[in-house]
Amino acid sequence: MDRGKRLNKFIGSSNNKIYMDLKDIIREHTLPFLPAKSLFRFQGVCRDWKLQISTPFFAHNQSLSFHAISGFFFQSPAGSPSFVSIDAKSCGVPDPSLKFLPDPVDIVGSSNGLLCCLGLTGDKAYYICNPATKQWKKLPKPNAVHGPDPAIVLVFEPSLFNFVAEYRLICAFPSADFDNATEFEIYSSTEGSWKISGEICFASRKPMPRSGIHVNGVVYWQSKHSGILAFDLKKERSQLIKGYYGVKGSLGVIDGKLCTAHATGRAISVNMLSNVYSNTMEMSSNARTWEEKSRINLDAAVVGELSFDEAMVVFAGSNKLFVQSGKRLISYDLKTKETAVLTHAVELNMRCVSYVNNLVYI
């Protein structure tokens, strides 16, 4: 009997140790995988959690761990930004209109928690900001004229060894020296300056603003007429790739590869880039530039019947597709095959920029 009592005490002590370890595991290894809005709320759980979440090291760890699409900033050409969250309870920003910036702005790019904004007054400067923390930085004036609606791409990839965000801006702008040509200017946060690349694209393809995306060291833009303009950041070389789906399509990243997603009513086709050199292959070659990854249909019970011109893909990535149809924003999960309507309040003719809700330090 005594031995039994001693065994029970041992089990109780072990269970207490397991509980304490589990609490530490949650704090150390689960919290970094949560979005910023949830983390701000969880600061009120206890003093230890508040101290943990408030440290720069934790913010750095969270920016490395959390990359899920969290919502979209929408903006009309003459209006302030607004934010639509995928999950309003867990993801959000304290000031969706970005009034903490010194000027009214137009959002022109987004990457892993950072936004690139163009000032609408004064010297019309570029700003980099984190809308979750309200941190921001004004960038120096570019060397070239980018125009009122620049085709700019923000590239920020969190690194284990960089506690302060290191990012680049790549702008494809009309050449002032050659008709129908495109040049490229790059801003590096490491160097704190702009540099015009020696590369000039003479393909007469104007890149579409807010269509750009970065995949594995290459920036891609949809062009206004046909094809996709690519710019290799390491080689600083441009290329025109066949394949274009007009205003109803979107470039995206699925399984680490460039893809295009195009809506025709409720039907959405997703194609992956397979061979950028197919146009140089011999005529009998079976090599194709694009391969179809999937063809899906949005659930009619959820969205009803959509006309040919009604739906437009606004985002493809993170195994999700997002489609705007009128004032509705519709999501489709490529894994679960579920269709859902996120909101009925999106205004028509709004510009859309995706967003990741993290704590990255600028």
In the chain, the percentage of residues whose pLDDT exceeds 70 is 89
Res 7 pLDDT > 50 = no
pLDDT in tens, 19-31: 556 767 777 778 9
Contact 200, 185 (CB under 8 A): no
Res 270 pLDDT > 70 = yes
pLDDT score for 348: 77
Nearest by Cα to 273 from 247, 286, 255: 255
pLDDT score for 318: 83
pLDDT in tens, 311-348: 889 999 988 999 999 899 999 999 999 999 999 988 87
Res 219 pLDDT > 70 = yes
Res 282 pLDDT > 70 = no
Contact 81, 71 (CB under 8 A): no
Res 47 pLDDT > 60 = yes
Segment among 24-33, 46-55, 96-105, 173-182 with least mean pLDDT:
24-33
Q: What are φ and ψ of residue 155, in 5° steps?
A: -120, 110
Between CA 326 and CA 203 the distance in angstroms is: 34
Q: 45: pLDDT confidence band, cut at 50, 70 and 90?
A: confident
Superfamily in which the 67-355 domain is placed by CATH: TolB, C-terminal domain (2.120.10.30)
Q: Buried b vs exposed e over 215-230: b needs ≥16 C-beta within 10 Å?
A: beebbbbbbbeebbbb
Residues of the chain with CATH 2.120.10.30: 67-355
